[in-house]
Amino acid sequence: MSTPPLSPDALKALVRTVPDFPEPGIQFRDITTLIGDGDGLASSIHHLAELARAKGAQKIAGMEARGFIFGAAVAVQLGIGFVPVRKPGKLPVKTIGIDYALEYGTDRLEIDPAAVAQGERVVMVDDLIATGGTAIASAKLLREAGAAIEDALFVIDLPDLGGADRLCAAGVNVCALMDFEGD
């Protein structure tokens, strides 16, 4: 990594915006270009790990799939464990799951309930918060398993979509390295 790490503004410049993906009108904030840059990836992890350390994280939970990239690297940096929040049917054990609403239809997330200890301070990490549906469902699921969920970290916030406000209302503090206007 470059010394000092890249600033959040420099990281923002590495995110590629793809208009009209996956649907017309959506500005897709693509982290492929950010993680494809060695300094960009390392600096993103550095900043997220410092936030997670300050929050007293005892474990990191990451949401499939892009939350795995950032979350697992943050966990390694802090020397703590990682909990994958998975799409349905992927885990080979008895899981607990939660269905949640998408703009069109529903989706489901599952975890291994044995992956967190009672009262363990688990910090959630994902690439981006939009409506907050994924993060709120993940927080509910991890809490059901016994985790203390007070903080969530994102590379990107889309504040106009209100997800960070909804997650705060659910009792989870939100930090993001950068935000983009609009959706």
Phi-psi region of 154 (alpha: psi -120 to 50; beta: other; left: phi over 0): beta
Task: Count other C-beta atoms under 10 Å from residue 125's C-beta.
Answer: 30
Distance of closest approach, residue 2 Cβ to ligand AMP, in angstroms: 26
Give the tokens for residue 175: 């930090």
Out of 35, 116, 128, 176, name the contact with ligand AMP by CB under 6 A: 128
Total of chain residues touching ligand AMP, rule CB under 6 A: 16
Distance of closest approach, residue 150 Cβ to ligand AMP, in angstroms: 18
Q: How far apart are CA 173 and CA 165, in angstroms?
A: 9
* 152 lines the binding site for ligand AMP (CB under 6 A): no
CA dihedral 152, 91, 106, 124 (to 10 degrees): 0
Return the closest-CA partner of residue 177 out of 6, 32, 4. 6
Out of 61, 132, 138, 151, name the contact with ligand AMP by CB under 6 A: 132
* 157 lines the binding site for ligand AMP (CB under 6 A): no
* 130 lines the binding site for ligand AMP (CB under 6 A): yes
Distance of closest approach, residue 77 Cβ to ligand AMP, in angstroms: 21
Residue 120 known to be catalytic: no
Degrees to nearest 5, angle at CA 178 with 175 and 181: 115
Residue 143 known to be catalytic: no
Given the rule CB under 6 A, which of 32-40, 75-83, 108-116, 124-132 is the region that contacts ligand AMP? 124-132
Distance of closest approach, residue 148 Cβ to ligand AMP, in angstroms: 22
Q: Are 100 and 130 a contacting pair, CB within 8 Å? A: no
- Residues involved in catalysis: 66, 103
State the residues that interact with ligand AMP by CB under 6 A: 26-29, 66, 126-135, 163
